[in-house]
Amino acid sequence: MDYIGKHVLVLGLGESGLAIALWLARCGATLCIADTRNAPERLQQLQEAVPDFVFIGGNESSKNGVFNSTLLDKIDFVVVSPGLAPIHELSDIILAAGLAGIQVWGEIELFAQALSTLRETRGYIPKIIAITGTNGKTTVTNLTGLLCQRAGFTVQVAGNISPAALDMLRSALDAEALPQIWVLELSSFQLQTTYSLQADAATVLNLTQDHLDWHGDMAAYA
């Protein structure tokens, strides 16, 4: 997907938010970063890497921890960090974006779009293994990555496990060393805003009552 000249609102500047911002800047987008904090710890790192972006923090971006829908002015699409809950911090802005026809994506959706572009432009078609569930994701993701590696494949493990998928894709492109297999640990938070990822193999390890402060209830979680 072509992001050149697109005005993008990135909500949240944690690990995933920084990876999102760096990827979009690389792809030529114009960035507006918003965070409920006045000075998130990764802000300086972004300032050093990307000289030209708008940052809106604290009370300018949110009220009582909820992002203001006014942030959507002149925005083409929104990308949200996975730690931000749709029923809390994002409640107003997601509703407003939907009414305005503005797409709301997450980091893994951008990763999926990037793979689609690489397939079309470079013929790069890696295998994707996606792992989710309430418990055991990290262990299974690490083990799967190791098994693939021992089988002789080049492998990158990323996602919720850290490092961020977009960071690893950026590094692989810079090194001209794209892996044959991506093993992704995906949280329910990340899957909430992922629409086009095409996994070759995927598993839901288990589903137990958890993260209800983020999802609201088990029906939404499941």
| Annotated catalytic residue, options 137, 142, 206, 215 | 137
Give catalytic status of residue 63 as yes or no. no
Nearest Cα to Cα of residue 169 among 182, 186, 152, 153: 182
Give catalytic status of residue 137 as yes or no. yes
What angle, rounded to 10 degrees, do the helices at 15-26 and 107-122 form? 30
- Written in H, E and C, the secondary structure of 143-205 is HHHHHHHHCCCCEEEEECCCCCHHHHHHHHHHCCCCCCEEEEECCHHHHCCCCCCCCCEEEEC
Q: Is 57 helix (H, G, I), strand (E, B) or coil?
A: strand
The span from the first CA to the last CA of the chain, in angstroms, equals 30
| Annotated catalytic residue, options 88, 160, 206, 215 | 160
Give catalytic status of residue 215 as yes or no. no
| Annotated catalytic residue, options 7, 88, 127, 211 | 211
Catalytic residue annotation: 137, 160, 211
